[in-house]
Amino acid sequence: MCAMIFHFWSLPSNIFPDPIGDFGNENLELVQDVAALNFPKAVILGNHDSWSTQQFSSKKKDRVQLQLECLGQEHVGYKRLDFPLLKLSIVGGRPFSCGGQQIFRKRLLSARYGIQDMEGSAKRIYEAALGTPEDHLVILLAHNGSTGLGSELNDICGKDWVFGGGDHGDPDLAQAISHLKETTNVSIPLLVFGHMHKELAHGNGLRKMIVVGADDIIYLNGAIVPRVKRSTNETSLHASNSDGTYRAFTLVEILSGQVNKISESWVSVVGNETTLEEEHILFKSNGQSSC
């Protein structure tokens, strides 16, 4: 059995990493803490991680360069990171993505990765997956999801901040996935991303957080905001005081090469004590998704 926990949308904290980006507005200190965690991980930076830096400095290392430097090989933007013991490979999408049809931070992407347009970006994602060991699963890790998953405001990548909605997915990611499906035998059971908040703008309810695509890929959004809350009588059943926190995790369980279960779990943390308070099943291997 291979079980993976993805932590999404951290508040400033040196305990819980956020592998799909937006650690803060270029919060170098938190990224350094994440890089120092001593367990296998993969990370991709989001738009907030390049919030102020539009191009790399030629005079000194800016905060984007320092974030990339401290993450090293664990930053998977346009790269593949293999975990041989798990027979698993993580392939990264476009870093710093803000969603939609335009490339965010184009000068950063051009300088570091040679990216000029969506076609070139799609090619880099595609090429990153080539050469994956034959017995490995591939999980795609991106800051934002792909196009083609719906255009209603509550769809998994739907625009909830404008009247009428719209598809705010990444077209390069969709193009790369389609090309991989057409030309390779790479097994891609799962795409994990964030960016698109679960709670919709203007009090319009909640977003769909999971889609099982016609291509048999499970598209999973983990952007629960905020992910860390202070414990209260309403949020914690077992916390004995107000010093604790209430934290959201998205758990993906993979059995025999297949996604078996996906759940959104809330855990209370008081001192050194942790208690599972809630578990919401998003997906079970019978093919049913619940949100």
Closest residue by Cα to residue 147 from 124, 171, 164, 129: 171
**pLDDT interval class at 172 (50, 70, 90):** very high
> d(Cα 37, Cα 15) in Å, to the nearest integer?
9
The upper half-sphere exposure of residue 138, i.e. CA atoms within 13 Å in the direction of its Cβ, equals 26
Dihedral sign computed on CA atoms, order 102, 108, 111, 113: negative
The upper half-sphere exposure of residue 216, i.e. CA atoms within 13 Å in the direction of its Cβ, equals 9
Indicate whether 241 belongs to any domain. no
Q: Collapsing DSSP states into helix, strand and coil, what is residue 196?
A: coil
- The pLDDT value given to residue 243: 75
Output Rg (C-alpha) for the chain, integer angstroms.
18
Q: Is the pLDDT reported for residue 239 higher than 70?
A: no
More confident residue, 120 or 229: 120
Q: Is the pLDDT reported for residue 157 higher than 80?
A: yes
Q: Is the Cβ–Cβ distance between 172 and 94 less than 8 Å?
A: yes
Q: How far is CA 16 from the centre of its chain?
A: 14
Q: How far is CA 284 from the centre of its chain?
A: 20
Indicate whether 160 belongs to any domain. yes
Q: Is the pLDDT reported for residue 70 higher than 80?
A: yes
Indicate whether 242 belongs to any domain. no
Q: Collapsing DSSP states into helix, strand and coil, what is residue 181?
A: helix
Indicate whether 240 belongs to any domain. no
Indicate whether 287 belongs to any domain. no
Indicate whether 104 belongs to any domain. yes
Q: Is the pLDDT reported for residue 7 higher than 50?
A: no
Kindly give the residue spans of alpha helices, DSSP state H, lying in the chain: 28-36, 63-71, 106-113, 118-129, 171-183
Write out the residue range of the structural domain in which residue 173 sits.
12-225
- The pLDDT value given to residue 257: 83
Dihedral sign computed on CA atoms, order 187, 256, 76, 104: positive
> d(Cα 38, Cα 222) in Å, to the nearest integer?
23
**pLDDT interval class at 284 (50, 70, 90):** very high
Indicate whether 264 belongs to any domain. no
CA angle 1, 141, 260 (to 5 degrees): 30
What total of structural domains would you count in the chain? 1
> d(Cα 69, Cα 90) in Å, to the nearest integer?
19
Indicate whether 61 belongs to any domain. yes
Q: How far is CA 66 from the centre of its chain?
A: 21
- The pLDDT value given to residue 18: 52
Two tokens at 221? 């959004």
